[in-house]
Structure formats: structure tokens, C-alpha cells
Amino acid sequence: MRTNQPHAFLLLLYLAACSLRAARLPVRHYTTADGLARNSVHGIIRDRDGFLWFATGEGISRFDGYSFTNYRRTDGLPDRDIRSIVQTADGSFLVATGDGAVRFRPAESAPSRRFQVFALPGGVRVHSVEAVIERGSTVWIGTDGGLYAADRAAQSSAVPVLLNLGGIEPGILTIVCDPAQDLWVGTSNGLFVVDASGRAQRIALPGSPAPFVSALLVDTDDLWLGTGAGGLCKADFRKAGSPPRIECPSGLQPGLKKSAIKSLLRARDGSLWIGTVSGLARQAPDSPAVQWLGEPEGFLNGNVLALTEDGDGDVWVGYDGPGVIRVSASGFVTYDGHDGLPPSQVAALAVTPGGALVVTASAGPGLSAYRF
């Protein structure tokens, strides 16, 4: 509503104000122009010193808050395509590449000591590694040809861990370890758990055939799993050897639009971030549904392969192609034409007793008011 007598009709303007439904979040976009090794980002982790490490299609990038340091094939990596990276208890990193798994010690100057390759038997599918994790004295290596276990010292060849007895071994997509030290393995043929003795068990999931389990997140009391069909479910951790209870919250499913889920993050504010092949979604702590975050909110469209949170509470979003988005936890949220505000000057701001913000803006003759 617009009036040429703003002071006389301020209450009327407030009552008739337009509600703004979106906001441009405080984001920054990083690409190769900023020093990132490549704009295809497959994984992001925060190390115990607070630095960020990026698994990219052209090597490993380390961000110290100001600039990127890159490690490539010329530095000793066996392949340029880095699928994932995790830090181990001794401070070294385990790296999954398109041609094997390696232990990475950045402080070592000699390439042969900086990158220690794990020996894998078999052909191309086994050497195509998607995930690596360490549990005790064993390194677990997830490949396109199945799951393998290696001695952490990498002094002998890795041995296969059979998940599908009597059949073709599924491709491994992701591996996480829960507080009880059970390994949860997402595969091209469903979900498996490997206990401390090395015994593998299939976990029954809704749907047939078994879905691709492409993302796993260890939460406080549950394991969240995202599937290739866009389903998002959670499993409570096993108690006394019994199989977990699987629950797929009905309020989340319609909003995900059956987009394959590729990454998950529980932020410190309690929100659940969901990376899909179609973009990014977020479930607020007090909401049963998800909100899509796209260009109107300052994000990019595309395949979100990586999510992490840094020490300041900023969320980092890795895309397959467009680079990385950093969402500041303490920056400015911008409302503009994407949200319904016309190109105009803001004349005044006011907060109602109910906590709503009223913006009065001059757009040509008269005055407009907007509430959000």
C-alpha cells in the first residue's frame, strides 16, 4: 500500500504491508580465481587445528582463512581426482582418489614420505576409491569394487571384506564410524554395518530393490542416511546387537522432490543441511519441512557434494563445478528485489511488539511499507 501522508497512515501501512518470504544470506563464493585447485569439490573437512581441506577434481586444497595451498599429482598424489579426505587420530589424513587410497602427511617434505599408498589388489574398479576411514589399527577402504581392509602401516596388501556373500560386491559410496565404533557403509546396494569383529550385516531399508545410500551422518543419537532416490531416513544406533529401527520422517520427503542426496550436515544451531544433485536444502530446528536455498537466497544451482562447518559456525557448501559457497554465521542478511522490495531508498525501520520488522521505503511518489 502507498500513501503520500506516511505519518498519518503508518499503522495502515503496517497492517497492509507485504510479507517478505526470502532473504539473501551472507555468502561468499570461492573458485579457482581465489586459488582453489578446481571448482569441482567432492569433500570438505575441518582439521583439529581449524584449517579447512577440500577434496577437488584437481588435487587437495587447504584454506587457512586467507589463501589456498594446493597439493597435486606433481606433489606425489597418485591421481588428480580426489573423492574424499578425513583426518586420523595421529593428525595425518586418509585420501580417496580415482587411482587408490593414500595416507597424507603434509609436514613431510619428500613426496615418498608425504604420500603413502595402500596396496590394493584387482583392477580398475578396486583402484577407484570413494571413501577411506581408520578404526583402530585397520584402514577401511571403500572402492567401486567393494570394501577392503588394510593394516594402518600399509605394509601389506588390503584384503576384501565381503558384504554380499555369494554375489557381486556393491560399490562403496560412503563410510562413517559411530560412537560404539561400528562402521556404517553406504553402498550401491543398500546399507551395511561392520562391527568391531569385522562381521558385516545388511540393514533392511524401505523400498525394493535396495536403494543407493549415498550420504551418511552420525548425529547425537541417530544415523541419518540419504539415498539416490531422494529419501532421507534415520536409524537409531544398535542396542544389544539388535537391528536398528529405521524411520523416514514424512514431513521431509515431499520437500526433497526425490532428488538424490549427496551430503549431510548437522550444524551447531541444530539445523540439518541437505546437499542434493539439484541443489541445497535446509531443515530449521523448529520446522518439520525443508527449505530450498537457491539463487534468490544467494546460493548456486547444482550438485552439492560436500558440507562442513568451521570453528566460527560458518557453513561451507561444495558444488560439483561451481566451486564453494561460504555461509557466514554472523554476516548481514540482505533483502532486495528478489524478495519483493522495489528499487528504492529505505526511509525508516521499526520493530513491532510481536518482533516483526517493518520497512518503509520511498519508491517514486509516496511511501510503501513492507513487513517481514
The grid coordinates listed for 22 are 526470502
> Which of 12-16, 153-157, 289-293, 337-341 is predicted with the least confidence, judged by mean pLDDT?
12-16
Contact call for residues 60 and 82 (beta carbons, < 8 A): yes
DSSP string of 306-347, one letter each residue = EEEE-TTS-EEEEEBSS-EEEE-SSS--B--GGGT--S-EEE
The grid coordinates listed for 349 are 525501520
pLDDT band for position 11 (cuts 50, 70, 90): very low
Mean pLDDT of 148-173: 88
Mean pLDDT of 8-18: 37
More confident residue, 27 or 352: 27
Domains of the chain, by residue range, sit at 1-23+335-372, 26-333
In this model, does residue 367 exceed pLDDT 60?
A: no
Q: Which CATH architecture has domain 26-333?
A: 7 Propeller (2.130)
pLDDT value of residue 192? 94
Q: What share of the chain has pLDDT > 70, as a percent?
A: 81
103-131: b (≥16 Cβ within 10 Å) or e: bbebeeeeeeebbbbbebeeeeebbbbbb
> Which of 136-140, 172-176, 241-245, 263-267 is predicted with the least confidence, judged by mean pLDDT?
241-245
Of 200, 205, 135, 212, the C-alpha closest to 170 is 212
310-339: b (≥16 Cβ within 10 Å) or e: beeebbbbbbbebbbbbbeeeeeeebeeeb
pLDDT value of residue 219? 92
Looking at every residue in the chain, the average pLDDT score rounds to 84
In this model, does residue 99 exceed pLDDT 90?
A: yes
pLDDT value of residue 8? 38
How far is Cα 240 from Cα 350, in angstroms, rounded to an integer? 57
The grid coordinates listed for 334 are 540482505
Helices assigned H by DSSP within the chain: 10-15, 111-114, 124-127, 253-256
Please give the DSSP secondary-structure letter assigned to residue 120. -
In this model, does residue 230 exceed pLDDT 50?
A: yes
pLDDT value of residue 371? 52
In this model, does residue 20 exceed pLDDT 50?
A: no
Q: What share of the chain has pLDDT > 90, as a percent?
A: 58
pLDDT value of residue 122? 82
In this model, does residue 9 exceed pLDDT 50?
A: no
**Number of C-beta neighbours around residue 181 at 10 A:** 11
